[in-house]
Amino acid sequence: MEGRYFYTKIREDIWQIEEDDGVCCTLIKGRDMAVLVDTGYGRRNLRAFVEKEVSTPYLVINSHGHPDHIGGNHWFDTVYALKEEGDVIRHFEGQEKQDYQLKEIGTGEEISLGNMRVRVVPLPGHTKGSIGLLVREEKLLIAGDALNQGLWLFNYGSLSMRELLETLRKTVQLDFDTYLCGHSNREYPKEGIYAHIHNIENLKLDACTKGNTIGFETYCSSYRNNNSHGSGSSHEANWEISDIVFTIDKLKYE
Ligand SMILES: [Zn+2]
């Protein structure tokens, strides 16, 4: 199926591309080089879309190894991910034969796109090898699922609540103003990360909502800061929303 992808221009040359079911990939079109972050479920020919829109060489990078972020890897020849995440990618690819090359990229590496620099930053938690791509000139962090308002901390390869908290505390110290998530075409201000930190620091298991999420027995800890933008009545103004969905084993600290 040829790609009919929809996209939202976050910046003139940074596009949030939407596939089905609200899954987003991000395309950063630099002057001399482009980067595609994630490949969605891959039901459509993402490569055809990228090559129609991009006239430079480009790299494909997985933010992490979940099936809705790596499903289109097979359209490409080479895909990059953090070494730690290779195992997660293989786990979710299962038995299907993949004929692309998975290569390693390291945190701290910086990719020059000519007019922009993109730095690979570690965001372990959602999965052990989750990464973000920090577009330095734009002060924009492309975060995959690592900072989602509804943040999942369960399933193969995910880390503990304590490790997630460490990551969040380090992430707010990075030099950026806004971030993008893998299931939204909106740009979030950094305050959203403080909501997650507040949520975890004050987490009480008996205040969590129990549920079942894709077959896992989960708990959800929620936090809303309704006082932060008090002037208007619009819910849109409130970015300080945190729902962390986890399995009980994530609270076992040694
Ligand atoms: Zn994910």
pLDDT value at 177 more than 90: yes
Distance 150 CA to ligand 1 centre (A): 11
Asked if residue 160 lies in contact with residue 247, where contact means CB atoms within 8 angstroms, the answer is no
Two tokens, residue 120: 């690979």
Kindly compute the dihedral angle of the four CA atoms of residues 201, 144, 90, 7, in this order, to the nearest 10 degrees. 160
What confidence tens digit (pLDDT) does each residue in 89-132 have? 999 998 776 889 999 999 999 999 999 999 999 999 999 999 99
Residue among 121, 119, 142, 141 nearest 131 (CA) = 121
Residue 229 pLDDT = 52
Q: What is the pLDDT of residue 146?
A: 98
Does pLDDT of 231 surpass 70?
A: no
How much distance in Å is there from the Cα of 66 to the middle of ligand 1?
5
**196 CA to middle of ligand 1, Å?**
16
Quote the ligand 1 centre to 58 CA distance (angstroms). Answer: 23
Of the candidates 201, 195, 187, 96, the one whose C-alpha atom is nearest the C-alpha of residue 150 is 195
Residue 191: is its pLDDT beyond 80? yes
* pTM of the model as a whole: 0.93
Integer Cα distance of 195 and 38 in angstroms: 26
Task: Using the mean position of ligand 1's atoms as its centre, give its distance from the Cα of residue 29 in Å.
Answer: 24
> In whole angstroms, what is the distance from residue 251 CA to residue 217 CA?
14
Those residues with Cβ within 8 angstroms of residue 170's Cβ, 6 or more apart along the chain or in another chain: none
- Per DSSP, the residues of 205-245 read GGGSEEEEETTEEEEEEEEE-TTTTTT---GGG---EEEEE
* Token pair of 112 as six digits: 């020059």
Say whether pLDDT at 234 is over 60: no
CB atoms under 10 Å from CB of 176, counted, come to: 19
**Residue 135 CB contacts under 8 Å (≥ 6 apart), including other chains:** 14, 28, 116, 117, 118, 141, 142
| 6 CB neighbour count, 10 Å cutoff | 11
CA–CA distance, 14 with 132 (Å, rounded to integer): 15
Q: Which domains does the chain have, with CATH numbers?
A: 6-251 (3.60.15.10)
Bridge-based pairing state of the strands 216-224 and 241-246:
antiparallel
Rg (CA), the chain: 18
pLDDT tens, residue by residue, 197-211: 999 999 999 999 999
Q: Once rounded to an integer, what is the mean pLDDT over residues 217-238?
A: 70
Pairing, β 140-142 against β 178-180: parallel
Distance 168 CA to ligand 1 centre (A): 16
Q: How far is the CA of 122 from the centre of ligand 1 (A)?
A: 15
Give the Å distances, CA to CA, from 62 to 18, 54, 106, 177, 244.
Answer: 16, 18, 12, 22, 22
Evaluate if residue 7 carries a pLDDT over 50: yes
Separation in Å, CA 205 to CA 17, 25, 67, 107, 241? 37, 34, 29, 34, 18
- Please give the Cα distance from 116 to 113 (Å, whole number): 5
